[in-house]
């Protein structure tokens, strides 16, 4: 998308309008972290983003959030942009590097090249002094453990102190999904993907980084605070076209998703704001069982595991209730560890964490 085609100020107006419309239901909530994600927020003009950021801070009493993250593509992050984001109050950027190998970037259909990725990380970390997390992808055809480790070390040397490393997944309604359906998408087999996962783990450990969530690694003090709040099951406000939020509404907790994820939809989001209306949304009232399940599913992906007492106090119910036998069985098989207060997936079973969690339900 050409930045000149983006309605920068109008979109900031719409986000601020939605914030004001949702604010009455938020009191007495406090502001902890802010995450500008979805699409490419770094294409949004920094003054417009800063205006939205200031409005969010005012709505929560004026104090700045302890972490403000902006997702960035390497094509839209250079020295000038990194400094502008820092001056606007951004403290952290999440850069979609994926790979430093031209062949893998071509396979993924990325618009940037390896040098643009290096410039983006260097500009943010070394020049602007921002905290940097870099996304890495593994499981691509012909990808080797040595290549993946070399990429991770290069990004670390450039200043990235947090990695999010994801295995390539194929969604049905995508270009990759259609190619896979036709048998025209080369992929690694599961055993090869597992070796790459283990290689990232060993590399991060050698760099002094903690593997604190199945897909995330951080140097000391560099954990993603916004994601940690999400994994703990805390409430969050979503603003913007296609945004998702999870907030209290009366006695219920409701997850909502704003419509309008397409370019035409963004125009309709702007139109709704201009008419003084909230965007159309899908809503789902979360039952107590839904919230217990999510607390377990998200928490068990982390090295901290699930604090059963804290989760029980927050929800008013014992998280073990109704799944005691399943937990005992998982513990006896070496899948889970249970010290009476915290439940964790055994570290050597992280590759199959999702399967282990699903066995509890």
Beta bridge partners of 69: 35, 92
Q: Which of 56-60, 208-212, 311-315 has the highest mean pLDDT?
A: 208-212
Using an 8 Å Cβ cutoff, are 165 and 217 in contact? yes
Q: Which domains does the chain have, with CATH numbers?
A: 66-223 (3.20.20.70), 300-358 (no CATH)
pLDDT by residue (tens digit) across 246-257? Answer: 988 877 899 999
pLDDT by residue (tens digit) across 258-310? Answer: 986 666 778 888 988 888 888 888 999 999 999 999 999 999 999 999 999 99
Residue 279 pLDDT: 87
**Could you give the CA distance from residue 119 to residue 121 in angstroms, rounded to a whole number?**
6
Of 108, 200, 94, whose CA–CA distance to 153 is shortest?
200
Please provide the distance, in angstroms rounded to a whole number, between the alpha carbons at the two ends of the chain. 43
- pLDDT tier at 61, thresholds 50, 70, 90: confident
- 276 φ/ψ sector (left φ>0, alpha ψ -120 to 50, else beta): left
Lowest model confidence (mean pLDDT) among 18-32, 202-216, 286-300, 346-360? 18-32
pLDDT at 187 over 60: no
Residue 268 pLDDT: 86
Residue 169 pLDDT: 74
Q: Region 45-49: what's the mean pLDDT? A: 96
Which token pair is 184?
């025209």
**% of the chain surpassing 70 pLDDT:** 91
Using an 8 Å Cβ cutoff, are 69 and 34 in contact? yes
- 334 φ/ψ sector (left φ>0, alpha ψ -120 to 50, else beta): left
pLDDT by residue (tens digit) across 90-148? Answer: 999 999 999 999 999 998 889 999 999 999 999 999 999 999 999 999 988 889 999 99
Q: Region 158-174: what's the mean pLDDT? A: 82
Where b means 16+ CB within 10 Å and e means fewer, 35-50 reads bbeebbbbbbebebbb
Top pLDDT among 224 and 264 is at 224
The structure's pTM equals 0.91
Residue 188 pLDDT: 52
Residue 171 pLDDT: 52
Top pLDDT among 282 and 28 is at 282
């Amino acid at each position: 998308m050409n930045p000149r085609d983006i309605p920068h100020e109008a979109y900031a107006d719409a986000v601020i309008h939605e914030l004001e419309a949702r604010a009455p239901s938020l009191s007495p909530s406090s502001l902890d972290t802010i995450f500008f994600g979805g699409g490419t927020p770094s294409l949004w003009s920094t003054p417009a983003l800063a205006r939205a950021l200031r409005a969010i801070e005012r709505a929560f009493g004026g104090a700045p959030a302890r972490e403000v993250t902006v997702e960035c593509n390497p094509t839209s992050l250079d020295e000038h942009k990194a400094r502008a984001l820092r001056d606007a109050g951004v403290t952290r950027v999440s850069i979609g590097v994926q790979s430093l190998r031209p062949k893998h970037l071509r396979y993924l259909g990325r618009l940037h090249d390896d040098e643009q990725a290096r410039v983006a990380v260097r500009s943010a970390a070394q020049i602007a002094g921002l905290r940097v997390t870099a996304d890495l992808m593994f499981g691509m055809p012909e990808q080797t453990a040595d290549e993946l480790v070399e990429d991770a070390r290069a990004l670390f040397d450039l200043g990235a102190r947090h990695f999010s490393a994801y295995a390539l997944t194929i969604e049905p309604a995508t270009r990759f999904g259609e190619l896979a359906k036709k048998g025209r998408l080369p992929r690694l087999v599961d055993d090869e993907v597992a070796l790459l996962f283990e290689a990232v783990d060993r590399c991060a450990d050698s760099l002094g980084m903690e593997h604190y969530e199945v897909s995330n690694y951080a140097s000391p003090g560099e954990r993603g605070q916004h994601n940690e709040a999400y994994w703990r099951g805390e409430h969050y406000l979503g603003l913007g076209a296609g945004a998702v939020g999870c907030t209290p509404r009366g006695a219920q907790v409701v997850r909502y998703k704003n419509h309008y994820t397409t370019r035409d939809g963004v125009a309709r989001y702007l139109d709704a704001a201009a008419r003084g209306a909230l965007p159309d949304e899908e809503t789902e009232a979360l039952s107590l069982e839904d919230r217990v399940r999510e607390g377990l599913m998200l928490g068990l992906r982390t090295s901290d595991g699930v604090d059963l007492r804290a989760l029980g106090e927050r929800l008013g119910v014992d998280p073990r209730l109704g799944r005691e036998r399943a937990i005992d069985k998982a513990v006896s098989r070496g899948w889970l560890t249970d010290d009476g207060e915290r439940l964790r997936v055994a570290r050597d079973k992280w590759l199959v964490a999702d399967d282990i969690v699903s066995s509890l339900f």
